[in-house]
Amino acid sequence: MSSSLIPAKGKHLGETVVGFRRHEPGTQPEYFYPAYRATRLRAPSQPLIFLPHTLSEVTGPVFGHSDIRPNDQDLTGQHAGEPLGERIIVRGRVVDGDGHAVSNSLIEIWQANAAGRYTHAKDDHPAALDPNFTGTGRTLTDEDGFYSFVTIKPGAYPWRNHDNAWRPAHIHFSLFGPAFVTRLVTQMYFPGDPLFAYDPILQSIPDERARQRLVSKFDLETTKPEWALGYRFDIVLRGRESTPFER
């Protein structure tokens, strides 16, 4: 598919580029969401300039197996001992807006430990660090778009956005997909978390159904008997325009 995007030598002009579809209103957060305080000084105030997709937007970096190290997929196996907390398996499928598998694509994750503490110099939450848990993982999706991680269920943690503010337990996800405009960074949540209603980061997404797409589902199929609970988290990246954008 991507080979059609590479201009043939000597035929650099007049390229036909197949762009990516734009988001439906309400399905993505706005930049400015005052309840999430940090957006007040960091969200643009001017309207964005609409950019028809060119070669610069529909190409993107490619990652491969040389980017992945052993144990990158198993966050419980990166140190001498077992980390504390509830071992879980997070598994899902990455597809595009037409439901087609996004294969061999890099996924990076990071998260707090079971106590709600990040292995990060600036995290001063007075909860225990775990010498057996860093909280960083990466993998490539397989041919059918599937990925899986073994990790520990992260704890909720406090932040200073507002009085008595707590983030619901979450795992950060970073994906590239096939183009620079399919880049996605998001967060996966756990079903039934009582903090959802109080979390301005999740609530910044206007559409309730869109918010629900960030909540993983308990999955008995992924669950391994006498070893770990399984959660399913499917991810959809932008799909292409159905017809080439003739110009």
Of residues 70-129, those binding other proteins (CB under 8 A): 95-99, 108-110, 118-120, 122-123
- 243 binds other proteins, rule: CB under 8 A: no
Q: How many residues does the chain have?
A: 247
Separation of alpha carbons 154 and 7, rounded Å: 45
Of 99, 106, 105, 75, whose CA–CA distance to 88 is shortest? 75
Please tell me whether residue 35 binds other proteins under the rule CB under 8 A: no
For other proteins, the closer of residues 48 and 225 by Cβ is: 48
* Total residues in contact with other proteins, by rule CB under 8 A: 89
Closer by beta carbon to other proteins, 186 or else 223: 186
Confirm if 75 and 133 have CB atoms less than 8 A apart. yes
Least distance to other proteins from the beta carbon of 58, Å?
9
Active-site residues, by number, are 118, 157, 167, 170, 172
Residues 6+ apart with CB under 8 A from 144: 93, 101, 103
Do the beta carbons of residue 144 and residue 114 sit within 8 Å?
Answer: no
Considering only residues 141 through 200, tell me which ones interact with other proteins, judged by CB under 8 A: 172, 174, 180-181, 183-187
Among 1, 10, 66, 80, binds other proteins (CB under 8 A): 66
**Residue number with CB closer to other proteins (17 or 114):** 17
CA nearest 73: which of 144, 158, 166, 138?
138
**Taking Cα atoms as reference points, which of 3, 4, 18, 12 lies closest to residue 57?**
18
Interacting residue with other proteins among 74, 142, 219, 234 (CB under 8 A):
234
